[in-house]
Structure 1
Amino acid sequence: MKPENVAKATSRFPAAARVRAKADYARVFEQARRTSDPLLVLHRVAGESPARLGLAVSRKVSTRAVVRNRIKRALREQFRLLRAQLQPGDCVVVARSGAATATSAQLRAAFVNALQRAGALRAPQSGPATMPPPLNSPVASSTSFSTDEPEPDAGRETPAR
Structure 2
Amino acid sequence: MVLPQRHRLRGRGVFDYIYQRGQRFQQGLLQLRVADAATNLLREPPETLEGELRFGVVISSKVSKRAVKRNRLRRLLHEAFLRQTFRSDLPPTWLLLNLRPGAVELSDDNLLEEWSTLIQRAGLTDS
Fold match (TM-score > 0.5): yes
Cα deviation, residue 12, structure 1: 6.5
Deviations 1:101-135 (A, max 9, x none): 01111111111111110112233xxxxxxxxxxxx
Q: Determine if the alignment matches structure 1 residue 85 to structure 2 residue 89.
A: no
- Does residue 15 of the first structure (1) align with residue 5 of the second (2)? yes
Aligned Cα root-mean-square deviation (Å): 1.8
Q: Which 10-residue stretch deviates more, 54-63 or 86-95?
A: 86-95
Q: Give the TM-score normalised by structure 1.
A: 0.64
Query: Cα deviations across residues 31-57 of structure 1 (Å, max 9, x unaligned)?
Result: 111111222100011346511101100
Q: Distance in 2 between matches of 1:107 and 1:78?
A: 10
CA distance in 2, matches of 1:62, 1:89: 29
Q: Which one of 59, 66, 71 corresponds to residue 64 of structure 1?
A: 66
Q: Does 1:31 align with 2:33?
A: no
- Paired residues in the alignment total 112
Q: Deviations over 1:131-156 (max 9, x none)?
A: xxxxxxxxxxxxxxxxxxxxxxxxxx
Q: Percent identity?
A: 29
The TM-score with structure 2 as length reference comes to: 0.80
Structure 1, unaligned stretches of length 5 or more? 1-10, 124-161
- Contact 1:33–1:43 (Cα < 8 Å) also in 2: yes
Q: Which blocks of at least 5 consecutive residues in structure 2 are unaligned? A: 38-49
Distance 2:36 2:123 in 1: 10
Instruction: Report SS of the residue matched to 1:80.
Output: helix
**Following the alignment from structure 2 to structure 1, what is the Cα–Cα distance between the partners of residues 10 and 109?**
26
How far 1:59 sits from its partner (Å)?
Answer: 0.2
Q: Which amino acid aligns with 2:126?
A: R
**Rg larger for:** 1
Structure having the higher strand fraction is 2
Query: What secondary structure is seen at the aligned counterpart in 2 of 1:78?
Result: helix
Greater RCO between the two (CA within 8 Å, min separation 6)?
A: 2
Secondary structure at 2:55 match in 1: strand
User: What's 1:3 paired with?
Assistant: none
2:63 paired with 1:73: no
CA distance in 2, matches of 1:90, 1:17: 9
Correspondence for 1:156: none
